[in-house]
Structure 1
């Protein structure tokens, strides 16, 4: 298990190595094309050292990589601090920890996201009121200015669902997520209405894991799997903890979590029945979501 920056370096290095070998170049030949020493290419490919976005572009040019989406993805993995539509979060560097910035950068470039949530509505589907209540509870002692900034970041992240193409979101929600009252009955009612609305989007597949499913593979905690269309070698699992995030990159981890997610989907309600369950819970008039 590694933290975000290390995983990004290793995945970027592995992909650059794959692109180099695909065009039949040795590391020494690649270094010669861009005017470097062979050891620099080796350090980049093994993830032993970071690499600047400009250097990534040099290598991609040398390897004849023209695909704009793949080029942009690899530049983002390099940790680009450049401005642009995919790097809006850099304006919030003062309030976002590095692991959160890593998460957002991956989310902005992923083509698909699978997530299990056991406690709260996924951030990409939260209303402003709900996001504020969750953020205030999760990050105690924050002043209003910082709290406002964190909420704005969470809402800005939701643009990925409406991009061209949009992120494909496949979410399994434990029923406890729907019944946990966050922010009061009014906030929760509006959040459930928003959730039902989002579930009808073609790029969103939402399933509720009912209490009747009993113990399940997801009881150990929530997780996210990011997938990338250009290369599955960049896929990654993210586990959130109170003070940090862990990124799992090994094939065995990706396979295990993908199989776990498929198992959860089989035990969950269908998307149609999930909408009915959401509507039923939202229809409780006395606000007793935990009843």
Structure 2
């Protein structure tokens, strides 16, 4: 389990490696001339540790980078250090998933047990967080709910990513909270599924055994040359998947699940039918 670097750190590390290789310097030679250890250079190029703007400038000078490129990389380094909105919830969010999600242009998510976090209503989220984190005080619970609702703002606006969510029918039928809560949650789902950047599909119980039985996961995609990142969560921590073959496996699993799901239109009809089966307030 590793903490994944943010998109900007990944981009910076990849570019520094490319420039070093272009200058025909081995990692050992470059590290020695920069006054770094070989492991430090490796961690910087693989975005495992942060780097200062002055260190980036020194590397650019060693690699013979032109002024314009040097200025761009130094600025990229500064941008990578900028604190995002999620930093205000550092007591809630761990790891780097929210930073990655915020910069993603597309999110593909599979959820076999719950309504996906990005699509949860406030009262549904409160019940789920209360059940999974019973040790939280009321103030802490409020903080967690507030953080989750703030996260949903990323789905709004011209820069919002596309979200393709696959949800197991079980998640729709599982009663959560007081009477009427699930009916209201499913009504929210129907409204959100009409947004232009949202695609919601349901995997029916009739599909039987499927490739997603091992648990929930997400695949995040980004602009430019940044590779996709996979993510899964378990009680002991977050797991970020960055190896190309493993990300491809998640992507293929998602596509197989998508093929087994109902169409968006039939999914909406099923959600409406299940909504009517839940107790109304």
Category of TM-score, reference length = shorter chain: 0.7 to 0.9
TM-score, scaled relative to structure 2: 0.83
Cα distance in 2 for partners of 1:162, 1:146 equals 26
Given candidates 79, 84, 88, the residue that maps to 2:85 is 88
Cα distance in 1 for partners of 2:160, 2:35 equals 41
In the alignment, structure 1 residue 37 sits paired with structure 2 residue 35: yes
Structure 1 counterpart of 2:109 = 115
Q: Secondary structure at the match of 1:224?
A: strand
Cα distance in 2 for partners of 1:255, 1:229 equals 18
After TM superposition, the structure 1 = structure 2 runs for residues 4-83 of structure 1, keeping only pairs within 5 Å, are 4-5=3-4, 11=10, 15-17=14-16, 19-20=18-19, 24-26=22-24, 36-37=34-35, 39=37, 42-47=41-46, 50-52=49-51, 54=53, 58=57, 64=69, 71=76, 75-76=79-80, 80=81, 82-83=82-83
1:220 Cα deviation after fit: 0.7
Structure 1 counterpart of 2:269 = 276
Structure 2, unmatched stretches of 5+, are: none
Q: Secondary structure at the match of 1:230?
A: coil
1:14 Cα deviation after fit: 5.0
Cα distance in 1 for partners of 2:270, 2:60 equals 49
Rg comparison, structure with higher value: 2
Cα distance in 2 for partners of 1:139, 1:284 equals 28
CA offsets 1:79-117 (integer angstroms, 9 cap, x no match): x3x44xxx1121222x22532xx1111111111111100
Cα distance in 1 for partners of 2:243, 2:252 equals 14
Cα distance in 1 for partners of 2:223, 2:70 equals 16
* CA contact 1:7–1:247 (8 Å) conserved in 2: no
Structure 1, unmatched stretches of 5+, are: none
* CA contact 2:17–2:45 (8 Å) conserved in 1: no
- Residues 17, 151 of structure 1: CA spacing in aligned structure 2 closer, same or farther, 3 A cutoff? same
Q: Secondary structure at the match of 1:172?
A: strand
CA offsets 1:6-49 (integer angstroms, 9 cap, x no match): 79899457523455268x334589x99xx943657733444486
Given candidates 221, 224, 230, the residue that maps to 2:224 is 230
Q: Secondary structure at the match of 1:281?
A: helix
TM-score, scaled relative to structure 1: 0.80
Question: How many aligned positions are there?
Answer: 269
CA offsets 1:211-250 (integer angstroms, 9 cap, x no match): 00000000110101111122242x2111100130111111
CA offsets 1:29-85 (integer angstroms, 9 cap, x no match): 9x99xx9436577334444861236358646895717889x948x954xxx3x44xx
Structure 1 counterpart of 2:260 = 267
